[in-house]
Amino acid sequence: MARSCAHTLKRACLSAEKGERIMELRLDLHIHSERSFDGCMSLSEIVALARERGLNGVAICDHDRVLDEVPEFDDFLVIPATEVSTERGHLLGLFVREPIETRKFSESVTAIHAQGGLAVIAHPFEHSTDANRLDDVMSRLDGVEIWNSRADRKNKSANAMARELAQKWKKSVTAGSDAHVPEEVGGGVTVLEADELSLSAVKAALLRGAKQVEGRRGRAMCVARSQKTKREKTNAGVKRRVNGMLFTVKCALQDFTTREDGWHVMDR
């Protein structure tokens, strides 16, 4: 999986039809920084890890927060974003720079669009197997996260169901690691074709449709580690700490008994 950003960018080709320079870009569109209540990574650490793992960019999707400043690089893209907690589940707001204050799903979609952002439903079946639970809101969404490296831990069909949802409603698709710890960065990759490495070009490419999505399932212990971070940041009491220890043991056993199934590639 590891490759340099420079190598990836050199994979530009000429479109025979239009004579345009087309880049194949590899982006992890769901990562949490230390600004999330359960995140531990600085932005600089995320960028460094992503570069090492052959990515051209990342979306920083902290829980109900946005970046104070969005750094700019010549050969790497940081996409301002957020993950909004709503009554219908988590909603990614890609390309937004202001916090989404409401926790109502419909109002959150409106607020994301008001900023010129894309509203993407995150891991829609991580906690549910009801394939029709989002039918009443799908028409307003811009996309579906069809690969999330954490989603299959509870529902083994979560990502497959998300893909079916996107196909049913003919929505754009994304992939993201949902990384909260360093090990996870790059575990979900959206592969796009764009004419340049910029926010506007990537946004347009997402709306046209990803070339494919790729990823690997993350270890349960990564979830345990981020939950430990959450307990530490929120000064958890004795009961939560004990429950956290039991959860960590459960995750360790799950990793021990789960066979590694490698790198997945999903066409849109």
Q: How far is CA 31 from CA 40, 63, 85, 159, 208, in A?
A: 11, 10, 15, 17, 23
- For 259, counting Cβ atoms within 10 Å of its Cβ (0-12 exposed, 13-18 middle, 19+ buried), the class is exposed
Share of the chain above pLDDT 90, in %: 88
pLDDT of residue 44: 98
Does residue 115 contact residue 98 with C-beta atoms inside 8 Å? yes
Question: What gap in Å lies between CA 165 and CA 151, rounded to an integer?
Answer: 15
Alpha helices in 53-194 (DSSP H): 105-114, 158-169
| Residue in this structure with the two tokens 């230390």, named with its chain if needed | 34
Give the DSSP letter string of 198-239.
Answer: SHHHHHHHHHH--SEEEEEPPPHHHHHHHHHHHHHHTT--HH
pLDDT digits (tens, 9 = 90+) for 70-88: 999 999 999 999 999 999 9
Q: Is the pLDDT of residue 15 over 60?
A: no
Q: Are strands 21-31 and 172-176 parallel, antiparallel or unpaired?
A: unpaired
Does the global pTM surpass 0.85? yes
Mean pLDDT of the chain: 94
pLDDT digits (tens, 9 = 90+) for 166-196: 999 999 999 999 999 999 999 999 999 999 9
Band of pLDDT at residue 267, cut at 50, 70 and 90 = confident
- Go through the domains of the chain in sequence order and give each one's CATH number: 5-219+262-267 (3.20.20.140), 222-257 (no CATH)
Q: Is the pLDDT of residue 234 over 60?
A: yes
Amino acid at position 226, single letter: S
Average pLDDT over residues 141-161: 96
Question: What gap in Å lies between CA 134 and CA 178, rounded to an integer?
Answer: 21
